[in-house]
Structure 1
Amino acid sequence: SHEAGFNKIGPWGGNGGIEYVMETVPHHLESITIYSSVVVDSLEFSYSEVNGDNHTSGPWGSASSESSQTIRLGSHDFLREVSGTVGPFNSMPNVITSLKFFTRRGITYGPFGKGGGTPFKVDPLEYSSNIVGFFGRAEQCLETFGIYIRKF
């Protein structure tokens, strides 16, 4: 029951772990926190609805790695591109081995995780579209990653 202009891209990765989806329709992505070591261990993000209510999703995966970084987008910046890699880790055939984020203001964050495996990329979105949230699967680490896009 998503409204018009709300689309999913992906997912990339494996099919293990627990499935996570967004329960409310996001309007603006506020921040992303990534825990990473060899791979992307965990993803957490906060977003606001049209009415201004704030929500946090996650952490999806294991938020215990020593390295975490929070990307704060602020009200005038948006994610316009994401890239990453998918590959094996421990006994899992496919997990998210790295993620990199690009904002409309030209700032690059990442890569988070050491990478390796098959690359994937969400091409730069047209100006009227923004990345507003994520979906995926996770348990010990982030196994699957996809994005929600909103067209304004």
Structure 2
Amino acid sequence: MSKPVKIGPWGGDGGEPRDIEYTPFTLVGVAVRSGDAINGVRFTYVDTSGNLHEEEWGGSEAEKFEELLLQELEYVEEISGTYGSPPESYVTSLELVTNKGRTIRGGTAGSGGSFNVPLVSARIIGFFGAAGTTYIDSFGIYAGFAA
């Protein structure tokens, strides 16, 4: 794969910046905690040296918890979501779709804005953004493109 490309983030300006420390190679799994908005995300990725890393951002309390563990030859190829209007411009919904048609989603559509990124010849291999202790304030992706 070529060098990963950052796409986004979408959402507001609040929260503390969140990013991964190591260059991602592949995404292993992702979990979303939500209610009316996205409270937290947890994801696991493998870096370019083959080491496994887990990140957890945002709050741990939520009404709903969804987890997606990627199977062999499965990857996330699309992300979409919404965010609220200021001053509550955190991420209000997220949906991730794999190449095998499996979906993970959380939250409720917001009134501020939306995003939809279907990837062609690429896959989502990591995330970045900003989070506080209650919500994911902004969310972006690392896309890996086949060399």
Same fold (TM over 0.5): yes
Contact 1:30–1:75 (CA under 8 A) maintained in structure 2: no
Q: What is the 5 A alignment of 1:6-85?
A: 6-58=4-56, 60-85=57-82
Q: What is the 5 A alignment of 1:100-119?
A: 100-110=95-105, 112-117=106-111, 118-119=113-114
1:13 Cα deviation after fit: 0.6
The TM-score, its normalising length taken from structure 1, stands at 0.88
1:10 Cα deviation after fit: 0.4
Q: Give the aligned CA root-mean-square deviation in angstroms.
A: 1.6
* Count of aligned pairs: 144
1:26 Cα deviation after fit: 1.1
Correspondence for 1:86 among 62, 83, 86: 83
Q: Which runs of 5+ in 2 are unaligned?
A: none
What letter is aligned with 1:150? G
- Single out whichever of 3-12 and 94-103 deviates more from structure 2: 3-12
What letter is aligned with 2:52? N
Report whether the alignment pairs 1:97 with 2:95. Answer: no
1:66 Cα deviation after fit: 3.4
What letter is aligned with 2:130? R
Aligned equivalents of 1:94, 1:33: Cα separation in 2: 21
1:74 Cα deviation after fit: 2.3
Q: Which runs of 5+ in 1 are unaligned?
A: none
1:4 Cα deviation after fit: 4.6
SS of 1:51's equivalent in the other structure is: coil
The TM-score, its normalising length taken from structure 2, stands at 0.91
What letter is aligned with 1:49? D
Aligned equivalents of 1:74, 1:48: Cα separation in 2: 14
Report whether the alignment pairs 1:136 with 2:113. Answer: no
Work out the percentage of aligned pairs sharing the same amino acid. Answer: 33
Aligned equivalents of 1:70, 1:15: Cα separation in 2: 26
- Single out whichever of 100-109 and 131-140 deviates more from structure 2: 100-109
